[in-house]
Amino acid sequence: MTNEKDIDKEFSKGEDSERIPPHASFPGEVHPSPSGGVLVTAIDDVINWARSNSLWPLVFGTSCCAIEMMSTASAKYDWSRFGFEVARATPRQADVIIIAGTIVNKMAPVLKRLYDQMADPKYVIAMGACATSGGPFFYNTYSVVKGADHVIPVDVYIAGCPPRPEALLHALITLQKKIKAGLTREQIRNDLKTTEIT
């Protein structure tokens, strides 16, 4: 018969050193059920799952990327399959704002006001070259802002001019995975800021 010291010695050897000893405290609560099974409570996982599968987008289409965003919501691509169905017309009911198009200096205060009116937690997707870097218009027009991140913080960037609907779906699904993992807005932003969705 082995005691706790022998078990600790077994777990301190070789490749098993990263495993948790059996007598360590269990991270959660176990409840007996009428059928003899157990239920493990993980309310944070349930909350993150519900939050990620009910992202209501606030659409902010200002130019040609908005056509691709509209086709993502149409029957062919159908973003409602993934939980983005309820596109809102008011920022007070939205979770994620999709900036699809060029941001000009006159539009920047409006974008900032909409972002400020969204409830936390809120996320931002910059779709296309104009929303991420000003696009081709930045060099020819004095009024274009060089990227939406000069106005509000951006969580996910989508490259392309314009990006296809699959790229927008990929960006939304990537954002969902990060929310399901329980990451905060700052962690999502730091993780995805350097990676463009192609």
**58 phi and psi angles, rounded to 5 deg:** -100, 110
Mean pLDDT of the 81-92 span: 80
Length of the chain: 198
User: For position 122, what pLDDT does the model report?
Assistant: 87
pTM exceeding the 0.75 threshold for the entire prediction: no
Fold of domain 56-197:
Rossmann fold (3.40.50)
On the question of pLDDT at 113 being above 80, the answer is yes
User: For position 17, what pLDDT does the model report?
Assistant: 42
Place of tokens 């081709």: 136
Mean pLDDT of the 26-46 span: 61
Q: Which comes out higher in pLDDT, residue 79 or 9?
A: 79
- Tens of pLDDT, residue by residue over 128-184, are 888 888 877 777 778 888 888 888 888 888 888 888 888 888 888 888 888 877 766
Domain positions in the chain: 56-197
On the question of pLDDT at 198 being above 70, the answer is no
User: For position 58, what pLDDT does the model report?
Assistant: 87
DSSP code, position 154: -
Beta strands in 41-194 (DSSP E): 57-61, 96-100, 123-127, 156-158
The string of DSSP letters for 78-107 reads -GGGGT----BSSGGG-SEEEEES--BTTT
Tokens representing residue 52 in the block: 């990620």
- Tens of pLDDT, residue by residue over 39-50, are 555 677 777 777
Q: Confidence band (pLDDT; 50, 70, 90) for 192?
A: low
- Whether the CA torsion 70, 120, 194, 80 is positive or negative: it is negative
User: For position 29, what pLDDT does the model report?
Assistant: 59
On the question of pLDDT at 60 being above 50, the answer is yes
On the question of pLDDT at 2 being above 80, the answer is no
**Do 144 and 93 touch, CB atoms closer than 8 A?**
no
DSSP code, position 20: P
